[in-house]
Chain A
């Protein structure tokens, strides 16, 4: 098997991996911003595949399409994030499950059966360790007022 074909296969498998990892994230996560990141990751997978095809066929079409993917991704991010902000101003949370209240009539709501408890270490935030030596303060110099 020639090396061009091998390369194409490798890149297509990688593109498929990125696409499906993004798909899994989109289906599983509930934070709207993370869902958005997953959509961008799916676009990355498509880009890798398109460039690989373009190189295999010796054609600029793949790279052209990727340029337009980047353009559309930028538009999508601008509009999507503006919408997320507008939605957040209404619901005060990024949970997509909040929006099931606009579902069709007659469809039962999704309810969380088990809510994970918040552990102690989840509330701890990283802090910067103190560096250097704290300078000794000269109280007289600080409180000295020359014009009084």
Chain B
């Protein structure tokens, strides 16, 4: 048996087990105590995973990433565990803020701003709008249920296997030849130049897609059922008007 592999693997394993148990305890069919314990467990798992990631490299330069990543992950978990969909949407807005910060860290300024404006500003507001139209009382019985007992367990297992496998596979990447890094000055001009020269056809396609979606959304949302016939009004002497 390869003990060095086990020695290097156990923090990842423990963090995955802790995180999955925590998320499972917080998911819908559980009660309030389960959520509290689950929150503690998943925070512990996240910390262990962060330590594992730090093992990949050195501390310097990663503090900001770790902060933003923790913020994003915690709000993502809160999004899927909140019983009220309104709270889910608000936590998702925080996830988007964290993601925008991460994109900013990667020198993708335009995408960071676009995430906030398009996602948090437009898409999320549409979600809240539909939520208030469809579920104005805020909570429903199906928000506190799932698909029986085993569905949350299986879902958490599959998710954790995905993350655990990915982290394990990434832990022994070999150094690749250094690629030329993107120039950092004139970000918008360079991005626009690339977008409107090499990717011009894609831009046209995306525009067409937006137009189709606009027309399609109106066509779907329009009430096409035949209206009930108006009650026939009668005038005072009994004849039909």
From residue 15 to 69 of chain B, which have CB atoms closer than 8 A to chain A?
A: 23, 27-29, 49, 53, 56-58, 61-62, 65, 69
From B85, B134, B156, B167, give the contact of A13 (CB < 8 A). B167
Q: Which residues of A in the span 78-125 have a Cβ within 8 Å of any Cβ on B? A: 78-79, 81-86, 88-89, 93-95, 97, 110, 112-116, 118, 122, 125
Question: Is B162 touching A36 in the complex (CB atoms < 8 A)?
Answer: no
Looking at the assembled complex, report how far the CB atom of B137 sits from the nearest CB atom of chain A, in whole angstroms. Answer: 9
Contact across chains for B142 and A94 when beta carbons are under 8 A apart: yes
**Complex Cα spacing A44 to B94, Å:** 12
Q: Which residues of A contact B (CB under 8 A)?
A: 1-14, 16-25, 27-31, 33-34, 36-38, 40-41, 44, 47-48, 51-52, 54-60, 63-64, 66-68, 70-79, 81-86, 88-89, 93-95, 97, 110, 112-116, 118, 122, 125
A-B CB contacts (within 8 Å), total count: 269
Residues 114-125 of chain B: 1 if any A CB is under 8 Å from the residue's CB, otherwise 0?
Answer: 110011001100
Contact between chains at A9 and B175 (CB < 8 Å): no
- Contact yes or no, A47 B99, CB < 8 A: yes
Contact flag A78-B126 (CB < 8 Å), given A29-B146, A67-B114, A71-B209: yes
For this complex, into which size category does the number of interface residues on chain B fall?
35 or more
8 A Cβ contacts from B152-200 to A = 152, 154-156, 158-160, 162-163, 166-167, 170-171, 173, 175-176, 178-182, 190-191, 194-195, 199
Q: List 23 A-B contacts (CB under 8 A).
A: A3-B57, A5-B173, A7-B65, A8-B173, A14-B69, A16-B163, A21-B73, A21-B159, A23-B159, A24-B80, A29-B28, A37-B88, A38-B80, A48-B102, A55-B107, A58-B180, A68-B206, A71-B206, A75-B210, A84-B134, A85-B130, A88-B133, A112-B148
Give Cα distance in the complex from A14 to B212, angstroms: 33
A21-B80, A31-B140, A41-B79 known; A86 vs B220 contact (CB < 8 Å): yes
Residues in A neighbouring B147, C-beta threshold 8 A: 28, 30, 97, 110
Choice from A13, A52, A93, A113 contacting B166 with Cβ under 8 Å: A13
Residues on B facing A (Cβ under 8 Å): 23, 27-29, 49, 53, 56-58, 61-62, 65, 69, 72-73, 76-77, 79-80, 85, 88-89, 92, 95-96, 99, 102-103, 106-108, 110-111, 114-115, 118-119, 122-123, 126-127, 130-131, 133-135, 138-148, 151-152, 154-156, 158-160, 162-163, 166-167, 170-171, 173, 175-176, 178-182, 190-191, 194-195, 199, 202, 206, 209-210, 212-214, 216-218, 220-221, 223
Q: A30-B147, A86-B220 are in contact. Are A77 and B126 (CB under 8 A)?
A: yes
Q: Are A24 and B155 in contact (CB under 8 A)?
A: yes
Contact of B142 among A31, A47, A48 (CB under 8 A): A31
Known: A77-B126, A86-B220, A95-B140. A40 touches B92 (CB 8 A): yes
